[in-house]
């Protein structure tokens, strides 16, 4: 409960103190989420625990806006950020294991040579340094400790990848591979796919029958009430009396008091929803209730209101084709499956060497187009990853590629034009550096595998889910 904090927050001095307290949590506001027991550990590396507080501090220092986290939860952004913290921790353990050190004098030179702290004449300005610390809410020891950590990790990488030298023939090969001109023929496959209006009712019904278990749609029956200061205490003010009543509702829910009895005691009416199906066009409150359906009876904050809800029934139903929205969604699924099956069959023919130039010409007729790619970075027509695939294939080979709009093409490699690396010192240095970097990356990937074997990493999935729930 937050009642004690709310009471304190009404005092005049609280405004100043709270401002000081919340500074470290300016992005997240998660300081009180985890307080005791096993939930205080989000990950474990051998015998070293990574606490949720460490993870919170890591998020705060990352500068990533909270909204960015919220909009990317389905892309496992929390897990990705935790993975980054774990990787950094592993490197710290390796630095300690190798007894790597960095002198205070070296750190001092790093700070004095930082361009952010120099004047127009290249001289170190302490006032710029102090301003930087103030703007980033850091003390000098904190900044220097983070700098020390970063430099030690960098020294570790240099130690691992030291002595990397690239042979001249590999430099030449890299240049030729990346800069050769590539001529290809291609066919846009969109005309080979069935359009959505070509699917018959029989095909739609058969698809539904074959996939009825996987296509079942979840429907909810529920009721909810919107609670705000006006309908709860008769004023627009969010005062202590309002929060006390909200706290009491939370207590009543925890004690098993029924939804209707809570509303009756508060004299607040509810909205009843039947056969609710999640849709992007749905009411925002109702979508949120759908997302929180695991807790069948609960209260949550929504902008300037509180929502108390009660889910009466959850049912899985076979899609109703009399509903136009549902029917269109089913047709879209059939259309996607049709495209997938066509592309898969074509790829199977290519991989099994059953597709040749004769088949290509027969399939293309008047639909074959040609293009020249000038380098492996030439993405004017196709996605850069698709271009890299094309450059990896021999002449007269076939593959499927896509563009930025995700149109799919059948492509054939027609011709290569090799470009030689001349005695250009600048280009030579560039490709030498690039190749060295590639070799180092290979070494570091191997080292990463080594670290995964050396250290045992255990994740506390429950705590991770609690962090993710905070952002929902």
CATH label of the domain that carries residue 356: 3.10.50
156 and 221 inside one domain:
no
CA distance 330 to 205: 10
Indicate if 298 and 261 belong to the same structural domain.
yes
Q: Is residue 340 part of a domain?
A: yes
Task: Say whether both 29 and 98 belong to one domain.
Answer: yes
pLDDT values of the chain reduced to their tens digit, one per residue, 472 residues = 333 333 333 343 333 333 333 333 334 444 444 444 445 789 988 888 888 888 888 887 777 888 888 888 888 888 888 888 888 888 888 888 878 888 888 888 888 888 888 888 888 888 888 888 888 777 888 888 888 888 888 777 776 655 555 566 666 666 666 777 889 999 999 989 988 888 888 998 888 888 888 888 899 999 999 999 999 999 988 888 999 999 999 999 999 999 999 999 999 999 999 999 888 788 899 999 999 998 999 999 888 899 999 999 999 988 878 878 888 888 898 999 899 999 999 999 999 999 999 999 999 988 999 999 988 888 899 999 999 899 889 999 999 999 998 899 999 999 987 766 666 666 667 666 666 666 666 666 677 777 777 888 888 888 888 888 777 7
User: By residue range, what is the domain housing residue 188?
Assistant: 181-199+324-417
Instruction: Report the pLDDT value the prediction gives residue 339, as an integer from 0 to 100.
Output: 92
Same domain, 111 and 25: yes
- Same structural domain, 8 and 132: yes
Say yes or no: 228 and 279 in one domain: yes
Same domain flag for 143 and 274: no
- Whether residues 236 and 190 fall in one domain: no
121 within a domain of the structure (yes/no) = yes
| pLDDT given at position 175 | 65
Q: What is the DSSP string of 95-163?
A: HHHTT----HHHHHHHHHT-GGGB-TTS-B-HHHHHHHHHHTT--HHHHHHHHHHHHHHHHHHHHHTTT
Residue where one domain finishes, among candidates 313, 339, 369: 313
Q: Within a domain: residue 212?
A: no
Statement to judge: residues 358 and 411 lie in one domain: yes
Q: Clarify whether residues 15 and 120 are in a common domain.
A: yes
- Sign of CA pseudo-dihedral 247, 249, 253, 256: positive
pLDDT at site 1? 30
Q: Are strands 368-373 and 48-51 parallel, antiparallel or unpaired?
A: unpaired
Domain boundary among 290, 313, 336: 313
Res 165: pLDDT: 56
Are 239 and 119 found together in one domain? no
Q: Which of 218, 219, 200, 191 is nearest to 330 (CA)?
A: 200
In a domain, 265, yes or no: yes
Residue 49 lies in a domain: yes
Number of separate domains in the chain: 3
Look at residues 202, 205, 252 and name the one whose alpha carbon lies nearest to residue 227.
252
Give residue 2's pLDDT. 33
Q: Is residue 383, in this structure, part of any structural domain at all? A: yes
Is residue 365, in this structure, part of any structural domain at all? yes
Query: pTM here?
Result: 0.47
Residue 22 in any domain: the answer is yes
Q: Which among 266, 288, 313 is the end of a domain?
A: 313
Domain match, 189 and 301 both: no
Cβ distance 78 to 472 under 8 Å?
no
Give the per-residue pLDDT at 317.
86
């Amino acid at each position: 409960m937050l009642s004690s904090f709310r009471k304190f927050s009404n005092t005049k001095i609280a405004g100043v103190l709270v401002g000081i307290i919340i500074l470290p949590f300016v992005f997240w506001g998660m300081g009180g989420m985890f307080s005791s027991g096993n939930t205080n550990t989000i990950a474990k590396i051998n015998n070293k625990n990574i606490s949720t507080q460490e993870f919170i501090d890591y998020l705060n220092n990352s500068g990533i806006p909270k909204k960015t986290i919220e909009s990317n939860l389905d892309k496992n952004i929390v897990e990705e950020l935790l993975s980054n913290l774990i990787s950094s921790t592993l490197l710290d353990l390796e630095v300690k294991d190798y007894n790597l050190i960095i002198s205070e004098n070296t750190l001092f030179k790093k700070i004095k040579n930082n361009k952010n702290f120099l004047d127009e004449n290249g001289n170190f300005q302490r006032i710029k340094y102090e301003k930087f610390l103030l703007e980033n809410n850091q003390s000098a020891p904190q900044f220097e400790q983070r700098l020390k950590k970063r430099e030690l990790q960098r020294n570790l990488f240099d130690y691992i990848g030291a002595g990397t030298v690239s042979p001249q023939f590999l430099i030449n090969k890299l240049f030729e591979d990346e800069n050769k001109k590539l001529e290809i023929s291609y066919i846009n496959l969109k005309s080979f796919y069935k359009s959505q209006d070509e699917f018959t009712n029989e095909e739609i019904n058969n698809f539904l029958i074959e996939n009825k278990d996987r296509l079942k749609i979840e429907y909810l029956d529920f009721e909810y009430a919107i609670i705000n200061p006006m309908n709860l205490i008769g004023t627009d003010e969010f005062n202590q009396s309002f929060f006390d009543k909200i706290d009491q509702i939370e207590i009543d829910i925890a004690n098993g008091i029924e939804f209707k009895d809570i509303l009756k005691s508060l004299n607040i009416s509810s909205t009843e929803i039947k056969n609710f199906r999640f849709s992007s066009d749905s009411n925002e409150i109702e979508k949120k209730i759908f997302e929180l359906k695991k807790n069948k009876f609960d209260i949550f904050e929504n902008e300037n209101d509180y929502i108390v809800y009660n889910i009466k029934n959850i049912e899985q139903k076979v899609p109703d084709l009399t509903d136009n929205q549902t029917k269109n969604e089913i047709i879209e699924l059939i259309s996607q499956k049709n495209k997938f099956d066509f592309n898969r069959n074509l790829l199977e023919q290519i991989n099994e060497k059953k597709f040749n130039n004769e088949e290509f010409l027969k399939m293309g007729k008047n639909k074959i187009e040609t293009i020249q790619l000038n380098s492996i970075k030439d993405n004017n027509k196709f996605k850069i990853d698709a271009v890299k695939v094309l450059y990896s294939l021999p002449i007269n080979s076939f593959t499927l590629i896509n563009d930025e709009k995700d149109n799919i093409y059948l492509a054939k490699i027609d011709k290569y034009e090799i470009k030689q690396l001349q005695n250009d010192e600048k280009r030579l240095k560039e490709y030498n550096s690039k190749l060295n970097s590639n070799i180092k990356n290979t070494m570091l990937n191997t080292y990463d595998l080594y670290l995964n074997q050396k250290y045992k990493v255990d994740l506390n999935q429950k705590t991770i889910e609690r962090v993710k729930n905070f952002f929902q």
